[in-house]
Structure 1
């Protein structure tokens, strides 16, 4: 059991270390802005393209369910994902210059590796934890690994962005994927299987059933409209107007993950058992609070407080929608249905960032955009009757 617990933490630690957000992400963002001269909208476009693999996770899930690799459902896929991520980072680290097309291809490739490994980590949590009644514990450990990785990665990423080169950041990014390969090879308990848990045809049929479900379309529309708040990349405002250093960006990111942890704890204690109608209202309010808190940033101290509050509220909003959505999943396609939900959330966030970047580039001040995003978020209240009608009653 100790192996399973440690692996669960490690998988999510690696995810935050490599690509979500990634120890090289701040150095890369600074490079895109100041070396390549990308605008806020162009940076948002880059991030959106880089995170496209996270929007097709249901397809990755269907592949993992249908095709064991070399007789293993988990071990071989983890090794391939971490091995490819290591190879892509190694390639980027050895370059002497970084044109935008090369960075884009590299970012998408690494993101695909980590998105696939995230699908495997979730699948591992369900298949290992469900028979022994430990899925709740494993989910808590997933958040622990993500939070721990986020704090460490953000802080060290700020130090690297301040004092080292982008090439050095890519070299450092190799460490934990390599460690993941060794740990999976030596320590991961798994028996060989002859076939997948379901056929590819059945997997994609389940995906099609989920996507064409009227309830999914209605709920996904609500989630999408709620998620496309036009907020530009915060780095541009904090760098151009407030003159924050790379080192402080790292500190700020660490406090942001602290706020996320507080939000997870608060949701687990006070809100997890709420009725679905309450959860949807909470999602609207918390989402608006997350946006408007960013309007109060005017110096380093206010930035830290705003980052904690914003991330705390944002994760409460996400978990509220997530909990309500899970309760409404049709039987036998729960995993696919939920993966589609997460894809919609990611896509909405990408569209919102691109729209916010476009407005910021045209002279709209960031505090005004944050207030506008919060006001837009409150419009979700008008769609609550429609959303409530498509969520099934509490189970």
Structure 2
């Protein structure tokens, strides 16, 4: 839910500066809330009655992640607009740092979950969350010291931001709060969100939001069933891979992070002059090919042809992670280019939150398809679940097929190169100019004006006629 709330924070931070600053105070606020939420979550006993309180704590912790993610994006979105030719390099730099630090966390999590379980009465998952307190607190330092080099807004600039909003923001956010675990509701809410966005945003932005929603909602992970497939023990799934927490959580994750870092450098070095459509098309096809490793391992075909599960999983994870990262980065870059001046946080929040929300509704879709095919493992100790994995490879093939849907909608994104500006000077000050709603309102005003003019003409003619009658 915090990630679906991005537009609220974006609008508030852009519209209401604190002590003249639009971003730094809000970073401090979400940091304090996040620290409090993390401490609350790890201090609870692991009993079902504490689940609602733990959910509140994790909500606040994710609120901090969302806040820093959004406000940092707004900062370098503004920088990127002034030097578009350096856009691919800037995005590569940002995400290289993100992946390198994520690599450290991935290396740590498997060992913490497996070996810290029971220490001082805390579970392994609690210890994993507890380790984030250090990083959650250290990010306060760069915000306090203004590493973002944010300048203080003048009174005139602050007043100007009070009018920053766009028709449909509230509709989008209210609709996003209706997310359920229902397949039908997931589809309907995405349609409502994208339809509203397309209607109120200028065509180039509306088309991008529609494409992002389509691409995100059709790239679906199997999720829970695959976790049980890989980690169930000999009793639960005799023919399974039986991966340990360390291998599944740390080794596979580390391989994926390393390959993502290499992919980021390759993107910045060799692909910065490519067109957005070319990158999407090439990487989507490659991702489909790489993901074919999933149905192979789910059907146990790799074992029958003599390839061990551990070797096959490492190779598949590496390739999929690399291609997925390259596929993701153009979308992130194009979002930065389309943010109008002086409302970067608001627009980035709206664009990114719709993308995030579209991605968040994929679990109900995967769950619905899995349930139809009887793939419903639960990981119960001592219970043989082998039959529940019989159709897992079919579920994987269906989801891979769905991921090609976005290829038919590439025409929705600008046919521009990644190191070029998309919006010209003077065209980057409004988010709604030329939208369907804007055209409808203009037409309505025009018709209203014509009606008034016609009424005035009739009144004038009547007066002239009355005057002529009197003279006669």
TM-score normalized with structure 2 length:
0.63
1:213-228 aligned within 5 A: 213=201, 214-227=203-216, 228=218
**Structure 2 unmatched ranges of 5 or more:** 117-122, 171-195, 233-239, 303-308, 376-388, 423-472
Aligned equivalents of 2:33, 2:412: Cα separation in 1: 45
Q: Does structure 1 residue 231 correspond to structure 2 residue 221?
A: yes
**Residue in 1 that maps onto 2:411:** 388
Q: How many angstroms does 1:138 deviate by? A: 4.7
The 1:325/1:176 distance shift into structure 2, 3 A limit, reads: closer
In structure 2, what is the Cα distance between the partners aligned to 1:340 and 1:290? 31
> For the pair shown, which has the larger CA radius of gyration, 1 or 2?
2
- 1:203 matched to 2:165? The reply is yes
Q: Is contact 2:13–2:345 with CA below 8 Å preserved after alignment? A: no
Pairwise CA distance, 1:267: 2.3
The aligned runs of 1:359-370 (5 Å cut-off) are 359-361=369-371, 362-363=374-375, 365-370=391-396
CA distance in 1, matches of 2:83, 2:220: 43
Q: CA deviation at 1:319?
A: 2.2
Contact 1:230–1:373 (CA under 8 A) maintained in structure 2 = yes
Contact kept in structure 2, 1:86 and 1:178, CA below 8 Å: yes
Tell me the matched-pair count: 340
Q: How large is the Cα RMSD of the aligned pairs?
A: 3.3
Residue range with higher mean Cα deviation, 90-99 or 269-278: 269-278
Counterpart contact for 1:290–1:311, Cα < 8 Å? no
Q: Is the 8 A contact 2:39 2:57 kept in 1?
A: no
**Does the 8 Å contact 2:92/2:268 carry over to 1?**
no
Q: 2:246 — aligned with what?
A: 247
Given that 1:295 and 1:368 are in contact with CA atoms closer than 8 Å, whether structure 2 keeps it comes out as yes
For structure 1, the residue ranges without an aligned partner over 5 or more in a row are 1-51
Corresponding position of 1:168? 127
For residues 392 and 263 of structure 2, the distance between their equivalents in structure 1, rounded to whole angstroms, comes to 24
Deviation at 1:151, TM superposition (A): 0.5
- In structure 1, what is the equivalent of residue 284 of structure 2? 284
Shift of 1:203: 3.3
TM-score by length of 1: 0.73
Which of the pair is proportionally richer in helix? 1
Confirm or deny that 1:81 pairs with 2:30. Answer: yes
**1:107/1:296 CA distance change after superposition, 3 Å:** farther
Instruction: Find the aligned partners of 2:134 and 2:367 in 1 and give their Cα distance.
Output: 33
- Any idea what the Cα deviations from partners look like across 1:292-325, whole Å, max 9, x if unmatched? 3433446222212111111111122222444566
Whole-angstrom distance in 2 between the partners of 1:140 and 1:123: 16
